Copies of this chain bind each other. A is one copy, B any other.
């Protein structure tokens, strides 16, 4: 029986990856990180989404970004680390996906799993080097060497834009799951519909010609 471990943030991309994984793997474990993200509502939504798929969800608590970002605030690289305050969580630090994927592989190792699935996408986040395919291939090799196991890291959204991702979810017949996925940077449910994250999400649905099942505070202009 082929099993996979999925990184489930509770956002649109990882929710889509869960639906994708359901068609490919017989047993799926989902792993979510509680790392001091701005909106813990993501973790509640991740749990709900895992319940929809009837797969286990584990929350892994990580204290390290606090220690890294506190220091970043006093340092020369603050411009890079802080990025665009409107679009990145305050705890964003370069290398975050390296931590997430390292722990995912360690967890998978313990569970006897070789397949990891993540929602990384180099189309939308081209500014983040740790979303790029060459990084994913490299950490796949690094983790395999570190633990002496052949890991495969699947990133089905790698070259899809938001619209392509929405279309994939429709094709998988799980568009309704996205009603539970959390995107809004304002942390609001119903979603604000105005923040850059909501805008990007709605634009994806618009381009795909589909309706977002997520509840918004008011009907977005282009729905």
Mark A134-167 against chain B: 1 for CB-CB distance below 8 A, else 0. 1100110111011110000000000000000000
> Which of B62, B111, B138, B146 is close to A98, meaning CB atoms less than 8 Å apart?
B146
* Distance of A145 Cα from B129 Cα, bound (Å): 6
CB-CB nearest in chain B for A98: B146
Q: Is A205 an interface residue (CB 8 A)?
A: no
**What chain B residues lie within 8 Å of A103 (beta carbons)?**
64, 68, 99
Q: Is A13 an interface residue (CB 8 A)?
A: no
**What chain B residues lie within 8 Å of A221 (beta carbons)?**
none
Expressed in whole angstroms, the minimum distance between the Cβ of A3 and any Cβ of chain B is 12
Q: Is A81 an interface residue (CB 8 A)?
A: yes
> Which of B76, B106, B112, B141 is close to A93, meaning CB atoms less than 8 Å apart?
B106
Chain A positions 72-111 with a Cβ under 8 Å from a chain B Cβ: 72, 75-77, 81, 93-95, 97-99, 102-103, 105-107, 109-111
> Which of B77, B110, B132 is close to A72, meaning CB atoms less than 8 Å apart?
B110
CB-CB nearest in chain B for A111: B75
Q: How many copies of this chain does one complex carry? A: 2
**What chain B residues lie within 8 Å of A60 (beta carbons)?**
64, 67
> Which of B75, B129, B134 is close to A147, meaning CB atoms less than 8 Å apart?
B129
**What chain B residues lie within 8 Å of A2 (beta carbons)?**
none
Q: Is A71 an interface residue (CB 8 A)?
A: yes
Interface of A is mostly: helix
**What chain B residues lie within 8 Å of A111 (beta carbons)?**
75, 77
The answer to whether A102 and B98 touch across the interface, beta carbons within 8 angstroms, is yes
* Distance of A103 Cα from B64 Cα, bound (Å): 8
* Distance of A102 Cα from B104 Cα, bound (Å): 14
Given that A62-B63, A64-B62, A138-B138 are contacting pairs, would A129 and B110 also be in contact in the complex, using a CB cutoff of 8 Å?
A: no
Q: Is A180 an interface residue (CB 8 A)?
A: no
Expressed in whole angstroms, the minimum distance between the Cβ of A220 and any Cβ of chain B is 35
Binding site for B on A (CB under 8 A): 60-64, 67-68, 71-72, 75-77, 81, 93-95, 97-99, 102-103, 105-107, 109-112, 129-130, 132, 134-135, 138-139, 141-143, 145-148
A-B CB contact pairs (8 Å), 25 listed:
A60-B64, A64-B64, A68-B106, A71-B107, A71-B110, A75-B110, A76-B112, A77-B111, A94-B148, A95-B105, A95-B109, A95-B143, A98-B105, A98-B143, A98-B147, A99-B99, A99-B103, A99-B106, A129-B146, A129-B147, A129-B148, A130-B145, A130-B146, A135-B145, A138-B145
